[in-house]
Amino acid sequence: MADVVVVGAGITGAAVAHHLARAGASVVVLDRAERPGAGATGRSGGMVRGYDPDPAVAELAVPSLAVFKAAGNWAAGRSPLRVTGAVTVAEPAAEAGLRAAAERLNAAHGTTAHVVAGPAEAAGVGLAGGIALVEPEAGWVAPTEVTEDWLTQARGDGALVRLGTAVRAVHERGGRPVVVTDAGEIRAGAVVSAVGAWGAAPVPGLRSSAPVRSRSIQVTVVGRGPSVPAHATFVDLRTGLYAKPVGRDRTLLGMPHLVWDAAMDAPPDQAHERATVAALTAHFPWLATAPRLDTVRAADAYGAARGDGPASGLLDGTGVPHVWAVRAWNGGGVKTAPEAGRRIAAAVLADAASDAV
Ligand SMILES: Cc1cc2nc3c(=O)[nH]c(=O)nc-3n(C[C@H](O)[C@H](O)[C@H](O)COP(=O)(O)OP(=O)(O)OC[C@H]3O[C@@H](n4cnc5c(N)ncnc54)[C@H](O)[C@@H]3O)c2cc1C
């Protein structure tokens, strides 16, 4: 018997488990894979920033960035944040909104976010006719490192992390969930389904009441020669193009890959790789001669949450009492994970404790 079973040891499940265990709950984390971060998390670029055009995402991303920054939050004793700066490019017409957003970010965190309008470039990123919100204090994290750190903290607080254990079904017995795994059953006060893109597959009792689909995400890593200036992480709201530096000599590039119902292990799409590099040359002219080093394809869960569970919009029901599915992250679940995990854990703890088990 566990207070809460968390299904999925990606960045979402790890964040939830960490907060649950820190609050004193008995927690079991289950993942079908032999290592944490085997899904979207392990392939993710991990770009984190406070700004997002969707206020509901920004509300999670702003406190999450503060958590990533503070060394004291991490078992490793240091912050996982690589501070490279973050550039968000938008239409010139969005200038007033971006200036207001920069003021809000700076008021909340004493940061130096600002708008660049006029110059052709900001923090090493060509703006291609757009303007930019620059967050010098943002950057990227390695999502698997963050996931493993949270699982280390959860174990230290008494959580049991069982890898290589697939959940086959979750059903109700006596008003509470029973989790059926390939290694036996676990009774729980509540269950959190944090299975990412696998939520689109019909595992009884884990599937969200909100429609969720798996969508492909593909990124290409290129070499950056010594004469090329450093650059910040970057996303263009007009096109969905994005990029981030990887160390001193490589850059990761991405462009939306609108392939739905994609498997996590689908092979790379070479035509999309070529199109990605060509499109990003408008922002990084040096790409014209950059060597392509690697292309990684994965998938994330996409869909609009119904918000019919606790944690206002972050959890949906599954049809089984006290079993909650985490909302789809639509390709952005790293930058919101710290605050989302905190809120989900608080709501689920209250639910697990409700009524006598
Ligand atoms: C290439 C790429 C780049 C990205 N870049 C960014 C970025 O720059 N910034 C950002 O914020 N976000 C980014 N994202 C999105 C972000 O990585 C995801 O939103 C996030 O990692 C989702 O985490 P998760 O824990 O919800 O899901 P996942 O990491 O997919 O984890 C789900 C876990 O559930 C387990 N599981 C599934 N079914 C079962 C079962 N039946 N029983 C037991 N275990 C099960 C899986 O093994 C897996 O470990 C990117 C994603 C990709 C793929």
CA neighbor of 50 nearest in space, from 10, 90, 92, 106: 106
In testing the pocket of ligand 1, which one of 35, 65, 145, 195 has its CB within 8 Å of the most ligand atoms?
Answer: 195
Q: Of 80 and 199, which is predicted with more confidence?
A: 80
- What average pLDDT does the segment 133-145 reach? 98
Say if ligand 1 is within 6 A of residue 138 CB: no
Q: What is the model's pLDDT at position 308?
A: 87
Tokens of 164: 């290589």
Q: How far apart are CA 24 and CA 154, in angstroms?
A: 10
In this structure, the residue with its CA closest to atom 44 of ligand 1 is: 31
Say if ligand 1 is within 6 A of residue 298 CB: yes
- What average pLDDT does the segment 133-152 reach? 98
126-136 confidence digits (pLDDT tens): 999 999 999 99
Q: What is the model's pLDDT at position 306?
A: 86
Assess whether pLDDT exceeds 50 at residue 357: no
209-246 confidence digits (pLDDT tens): 999 999 999 999 999 999 999 999 999 999 999 999 99
Count Cβ atoms below 10 Å from residue 49 Cβ, excluding itself: 28
- What average pLDDT does the segment 93-97 reach? 97
Distance 134 CA to ligand 1 centre (A): 27
How does residue 356 score in pLDDT terms, banded at 50, 70 and 90?
Answer: very low
Element (H, E) at 170: strand 167-173
How does residue 355 score in pLDDT terms, banded at 50, 70 and 90?
Answer: low
- What average pLDDT does the segment 43-49 reach? 97
- What average pLDDT does the segment 75-89 reach? 98
Say if ligand 1 is within 6 A of residue 143 CB: yes
Say if ligand 1 is within 6 A of residue 190 CB: no
148 three-class SS: helix
Q: DSSP assignment of 217-231, as one string?
A: EEEEEEE--TTSPP-
Q: Are 317 and 308 in contact (CB under 8 A)?
A: yes
Q: DSSP assignment of 287-323, as one string?
A: GGGPPEEEEEEEEEEE------SSTTTTEEE-SSTTE
CA neighbor of 132 nearest in space, from 149, 114, 147: 114
Q: How far apart are CA 111 and CA 114, in angstroms?
A: 9
**What are the C-alpha distances in Å from 347 to residues 19, 101, 214, 277?**
11, 29, 26, 43
CA neighbor of 40 nearest in space, from 339, 330, 343, 344: 330
Distance 115 CA to ligand 1 centre (A): 32
Report percent pLDDT > 90 for the chain.
90
- What average pLDDT does the segment 143-151 reach? 98
For 311-346, letters b (16+ CB in 10 Å) and e give bebbbbbbebebbbbbbbbebbbbbbbbbbbbbbbe
Assess whether pLDDT exceeds 70 at residue 117: yes
Assess whether pLDDT exceeds 50 at residue 186: yes
Assess whether pLDDT exceeds 50 at residue 317: yes
- Burial of residue 76 (CB within 10 Å: 0-12, 13-18, 19+) is middle
Show the domains of the chain with their CATH numbers: 1-46+143-211+304-357 (3.50.50.60)
Assess whether pLDDT exceeds 90 at residue 294: yes
Q: How far apart are CA 285 and CA 36, in angstroms?
A: 37
Atom of ligand 1 nearest to the CA of 39: 30
| Weakest-pLDDT range from 47-51, 62-66, 226-230, 349-353 | 349-353
Assess whether pLDDT exceeds 60 at residue 289: yes
Distance 219 CA to ligand 1 centre (A): 15
